[in-house]
Amino acid sequence: MGSGSSSYRPKAIYLDIDGRIQKVVFSKYCNSSDIMDLFCIATGLPRNTTISLLTTDDAMVSIDPTMPANSESTPYKVRPVALKQLSEKEELIQSVLTQVAEQFSRAFKINELKAEVANHLAVLEKRVELEGLKVVEIEKCKSDIKKMREELAARSNRTSCPCKYSFLDNSKKLTPQRDVPTYPKYLLSPETIEGLRKPTFDVWLWEPNEMLSCLEHMYHDLCLVRDFSINPITLKRWLGMITLILATDMARHAEIMDSFKEKMENFDYSNEEHMTLLKMILIKCCDISNEVRPMEVAEPWVDCLLEEYFMQSDREKSEGLPVAPFMDRDKVTKATAQIGFIKFVLIPMFETVTKLFPAVEESMLQPLWESRDRYEELKQMDDAMTERKSESRAGGGTDKSREKSRDGKPSEDLA
């Protein structure tokens, strides 16, 4: 079934026209003359021009329906050979036909009709290609299920399982369960599809679910699904993982936390939306869980992070750029930075998770409370040391003034 639909696909040839790549598509029913005319039109040459095609190695290619297909990275170079000379009678006929064609074109809008037909053909070709891919994906899924059944049957034969039911029990149907994530699908406009092919495409203008639809289209458009035989279930799982990775963006922290708190009142483990939010929260906990670990493990990483922040702010200051306050070494200390992050980000998030998983309190919340207390003690020590330094500088200035007055004129002091 899959081979039947793919064998009828038209052939595509890529031409190099002064550095611009032009795609020409024709069916197997075209003859050599028709194909030659198509190439001439694509290159902007008169239709009665004789041309030759050369490969990247300057080897000549025959122009006929069986000519070898190429790719966008290996286009054929077009070389005009000669322009056929017409007799006076043929030129007159050609002139009359040209005028008649122009009149028909103006009367019946042939050019607009051509463009519309070409667009419809392109849509149909894309639909045929996608239908062929769907057939391949369905067959691959069937093959995967068959292999899974065979593997389960083999395991059942190898081991003496004390289970109540055997995998080979005819009264029990084997139904492999797969956790395949879903997300809203969006129909991409032609402008968006064209923009995806350019390096200037701005992904930050799109919502996460919209970006997933763009990514899925790119996987098919770049033939990654076909060339690497990507199982559609594997692709959907991969896109689902990207959804979770995007949740670690701290710019979305408040949004995700608010949504999760709303679901907490009546959390339903069978609800896919609830479970997706839970997964987002859990991966966020993993992403910023440094302070949950023991102090001797966590603190060196804090030092590295602060040093990275300070180096960036120093560079920004030297270049006259704005500096984020939490990265400025003149305004932030390790204690102040960590107290705010632990109190307002980490503890509220882990406390929310504790409502679903009480065991989190002892293993994760307790270390966070201890870490917060430790940094508050460190802040008190830093404040006390700063205050002593200020008093020392103030006291040192007074003592020096007194010494100067005593050493300056002792006779006047005695008088």
Give the pLDDT confidence of 293-346 residue by residue, as tens digits. Answer: 999 999 999 999 999 999 999 999 999 999 998 899 998 999 999 999 999 999
One-letter amino acid at 253 equals H
Residue 156 has pLDDT above 70, yes or no: no
Select, from the ranges 2-6, 79-83, 196-200, 283-287, the one with the highest average predicted confidence (pLDDT): 283-287
Is 369 inside a domain boundary?
yes
Residue whose entry in the numeric block shows the structure tokens 């050979």: 81
CATH number at residue 40: 3.10.20
For the ranges 4-8, 104-108, 185-189, the lowest mean pLDDT is seen at 4-8
Q: Pick the last residue of a domain from 41, 60, 80.
A: 80
pLDDT at 94 over 80: no
Do 297 and 364 have their domain in common?
A: yes
Distance CA 228, CA 238 (A): 14
Q: Does residue 48 fall inside a structural domain?
A: yes
What pLDDT score does 173 carry?
Answer: 45
* Burial group, residue 173, by CB count within 10 angstroms (0-12, 13-18, 19+): exposed
The mean pLDDT of 252-268, rounded to a whole number, is 92
Least Cα distance to 24 among 84, 76, 82 occurs for 76
Split at pLDDT 50, 70, 90, the class of 371 is very high
Give me the number of domains the chain comprises.
Answer: 3
Mean pLDDT computed over 266-294: 93
Identify whether residues 295 and 386 lie together within a single domain. yes
Mean pLDDT of 211-222: 86
Whole-number pLDDT of residue 20: 87
63 pLDDT band, cuts 50/70/90, is confident
For 70-90, what is the mean pLDDT? 76
Domain range for 348 is: 289-390
> Does the residue 255 lie in any domain?
no
* 323 and 386, same domain (yes or no): yes
Give the strands of the sheet with 60-61, arranged side by side. Answer: 20-26, 11-17, 76-83, 49-54, 60-61
Asked whether residue 332 falls in the same domain as residue 352, the answer is: yes
- The chain-wide mean pLDDT, for the chain, equals 80
Which of 80, 105, 138 corresponds to the end of one domain?
A: 80
Q: What is the rounded average pLDDT of the residues 227-242?
A: 86
Q: Are residues 131 and 148 in the same domain?
A: yes
- Please report the pLDDT score of residue 376 as a whole number: 95
pLDDT at 350: 96
Task: Judge contact between 279 and 244, C-beta under 8 A.
Answer: yes
Is the pLDDT confidence value at 161 over 90? no
On the question of pLDDT at 1 being above 70, the answer is no
The pLDDT tens digits of the residues spanning 25-41 come to 888 778 888 888 888 88
Task: Assess whether 102 and 76 both reside in one domain.
Answer: no
What is the average per-residue pLDDT within 269-283? 93
Same domain, 58 and 98: no
**Mean pLDDT throughout 266-293?**
93
The pLDDT value recorded for residue 107 is 61
